[in-house]
């Protein structure tokens, strides 16, 4: 697996590339310590049939984390530029959680760059804390001004809180290993990572997912863990209704990270879907 850096205008963006065949871009969810290794059990298998690009979004993993205002539009711009300048041809995109909204915007706005979409437990509800929107700039200032927000971020990115977060992601707690917690903690301790986190909790990274869905013409596969939290599988009803031809696959014995917890099943679903082979017993919209 080759490690690369894309010299984007806001900073160097890390990604790994592996395999031969039609391209797939993997986009991780947004949370403290996130990186492309959220897909660590998918990359090798998918690379047997496709050229896999797994990105660390700006502010995460080995990518730069410059001091700037992180927004949903920033990540939409990054992913669009990555498709155009790095992959340089239409690609399938697999995204998780909040990142699905960014990919949906690109697919609706520039459909020629997205051949197929796979959304894993996509988030359609706001992630910002329950407070008036006018308060968001003040909260963001508090969180990003040392030493005001440093203690809060260190707590939220500490082992205890990351352990709690991961236990909420999985149906089976055995997947919450010391190694995984340490990896997220190490990523979250990198200089500058407080800035995307501040944007997350103040709602700056929110983007309506439901709005672009009716305009997307690329085929969409929705993958949901039966026991997903905080976005339960019941939220899929609205997405299937709005997305033309969307297919829903519910993964048993899995939470919000079915691609990690039941990776063999999810890999087979993605491979079959992208190769236009029969896919399970999904329900079409």
What is the tens place of the pLDDT at every residue in 68-110?
A: 999 999 999 999 999 999 999 999 999 999 999 999 999 999 9
Residue 282's pLDDT is: 47
The pLDDT value given to residue 140: 55
Lowest mean pLDDT among 65-69, 89-93, 244-248: 244-248
Give the pLDDT mean for 109-125.
94
Domains of the chain with CATH codes: 2-127+207-284 (3.40.50.1820)
Q: How far apart are CA 132 and CA 281, in angstroms?
A: 43
pTM, entire model: 0.91
Given this model, what pLDDT does residue 136 score? 55
Specify the residue for token string 């697996």. 1
Quickly state the pLDDT bin for 281 (edges 50, 70, 90): very low
Question: For residues 251 and 222, is the Cβ–Cβ distance under 8 A?
Answer: no
Measured distance CA(86)–CA(80) in Å, rounded: 10
Tell me, what's the pLDDT at 142? 55
Burial of 16 (0-12, 13-18, 19+ CB in 10 A): buried
pLDDT > 50? residue 2: yes
| Mean pLDDT value across residues 172-200 | 94
């Amino acid at each position: 697996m080759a490690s690369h850096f894309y010299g984007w205008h806001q900073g160097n963006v890390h990604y790994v590339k592996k395999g031969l065949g039609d391209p797939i871009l993997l986009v991780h969810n947004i949370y403290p310590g996130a990186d492309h290794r959220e897909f660590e059990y998918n990359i090798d298998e998918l690379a047997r049939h496709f050229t896999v690009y797994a990105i660390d979004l700006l502010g995460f993993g080995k990518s730069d984390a410059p001091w700037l205002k992180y927004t949903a539009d920033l990540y939409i711009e990054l992913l669009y530029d990555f498709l155009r300048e790095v992959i340089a041809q239409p690609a399938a995109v697999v995204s998780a959680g909040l990142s699905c909204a960014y990919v949906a915007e690109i697919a609706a706005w520039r459909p020629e760059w997205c051949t197929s979409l796979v959304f894993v437990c996509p988030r359609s509800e706001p992630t910002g804390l329950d407070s008036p929107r006018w308060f968001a700039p003040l909260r963001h200032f508090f969180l990003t001004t040392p030493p005001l927000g440093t203690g809060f971020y260190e707590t939220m990115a500490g082992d205890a809180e990351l352990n709690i977060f991961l236990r909420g992601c999985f149906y089976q707690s055995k997947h919450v290993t010391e190694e995984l917690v340490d990896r997220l903690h190490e990523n979250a301790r990198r200089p500058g990572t407080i800035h995307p986190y501040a944007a997350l909790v103040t709602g700056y990274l929110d983007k309506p997912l439901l709005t672009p869905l009716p305009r997307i013409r690329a085929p969409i596969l929705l993958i949901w863990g039966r026991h997903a939290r905080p976005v339960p599988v019941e939220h899929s009803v609205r997405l299937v209704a709005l997305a033309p031809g969307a297919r829903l696959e519910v993964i048993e014995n899995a939470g919000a990270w079915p691609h990690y917890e039941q990776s063999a099943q999810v890999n087979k679903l993605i491979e079959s879907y992208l190769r236009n082979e029969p896919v399970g017993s999904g329900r079409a919209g």
